[in-house]
């Protein structure tokens, strides 16, 4: 029998207790391509339970596992193992909220106005359309850098990885995905700018464009950000 099995591609990741069905499987063994190490836990005549350790050098996408029966005569059969790679992020529906700031301290520039946006990211794989990678414990950290234009005059950002030396963002910093492969943008994307304040009231302005480079494990994903006085756009949304 053929099964499509998914796993996260990362050094040390293990997909536990995968069941392969068929016939004549008592005492069967499993071989796999480079980067996937199978460990058979149990067999019966109709099923085989195996742990699959996925290394960083495993091939992304479909991989073929070969099952070798111990019957007489010995037989072999194959099944497909799909390795997911963190390739994109999406905002989880219903988690995004935007809060305006009527007055804020724009660092050394003076009093301004701004906005904060909080939400939860979903880590997705390389498929089209992207599919969620539902794996917990993947370490996450990020860096944000201004691109062009910078109409709000933003000069610095607070990122999810806040406990590493300023400007390095070399994590990890104890932020990780939950069991669904999701993590909260911490402490939220925010802006405070004197450009957003005139005659002691908050006014419209922007954008300041920036790239947010998010590292999920050893994989890098670049997000496109646009900051305005009253909202923040992530990848056009």
Summarised one tens digit per residue, pLDDT across range 158-196 is 887 655 544 455 556 778 899 899 999 988 899 999 999
Q: Show the low-confidence residues of the chain (pLDDT under 50).
A: 1-4, 165-167
Domain boundary among 44, 69, 84: 84
How far is Cα 230 from Cα 228, in angstroms, rounded to an integer?
A: 5
How far is Cα 64 from Cα 142, in angstroms, rounded to an integer?
A: 34
Structure tokens at 8: 């996260």
Strands of 88-91's sheet, edge to edge? 88-91, 120-124, 182-184
0.85 surpassed by pTM = no
Is the domain of 77 the same as that of 117? no
Is the domain of 152 the same as that of 165? yes
How far is Cα 150 from Cα 209, in angstroms, rounded to an integer?
A: 6
Structure tokens at 119: 């939400």
Is the domain of 145 the same as that of 161? yes
Is the domain of 67 the same as that of 15? yes
Angstrom distances, CA of residue 59 to CA of 8, 20, 85, 87:
11, 21, 10, 14
Residue numbers of the domain that contains 167: 88-234
Domain boundary among 50, 84, 118: 84
Neighbours of 199 (CB within 10 A): 5
Query: What pLDDT does residue 104 have?
Result: 86
Single out the residue of 126, 125, 123, 124 nearest to residue 183, CA to CA. Answer: 123
Domain boundary among 84, 106, 124: 84
Query: What pLDDT does residue 223 have?
Result: 95
Beta strands 4-8 and 76-84: pairing type?
parallel
Is the domain of 135 the same as that of 59? no
Query: What pLDDT does residue 1 have?
Result: 38
Q: Which residues contact 179 (CB under 8 A, 6 or more apart)?
A: 134, 135, 136
């Amino acid at each position: 029998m053929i099964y499509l099995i998914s796993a996260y591609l990362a050094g040390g990741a293990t997909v536990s207790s995968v069941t392969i069905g068929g016939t004549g499987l008592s005492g069967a063994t499993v071989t796999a391509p480079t980067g996937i190490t199978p460990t058979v836990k149990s067999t019966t005549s109709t099923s085989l339970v195996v742990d699959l350790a996925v290394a960083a050098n495993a091939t992304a996408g479909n991989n073929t596992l070969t099952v070798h029966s111990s019957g007489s005569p010995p037989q072999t059969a194959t099944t497909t193992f799909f390795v997911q790679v963190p390739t994109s992020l999406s905002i989880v529906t219903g988690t995004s909220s935007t809060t305006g700031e009527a007055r804020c301290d724009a660092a050394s520039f003076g009093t301004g106005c701004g906005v904060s946006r909080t939400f939860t990211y979903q880590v997705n794989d390389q498929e089209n359309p992207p599919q969620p990678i539902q794996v917990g414990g993947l370490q996450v950290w990020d860096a944000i850098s201004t691109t062009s234009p910078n109409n709000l005059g933003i000069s610095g950002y607070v990122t999810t990885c806040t406990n590493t030396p300023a400007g390095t963002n070399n994590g990890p910093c104890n932020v990780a995905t939950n069991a669904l492969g999701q993590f909260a943008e911490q402490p939220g994307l925010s802006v405070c700018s004197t450009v957003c304040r005139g005659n002691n009231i908050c006014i419209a302005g922007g954008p300041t464009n920036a790239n947010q480079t998010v590292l999920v494990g050893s994989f890098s994903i670049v997000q496109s950000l646009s900051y305005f006085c009253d909202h923040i756009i992530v990848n056009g949304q």
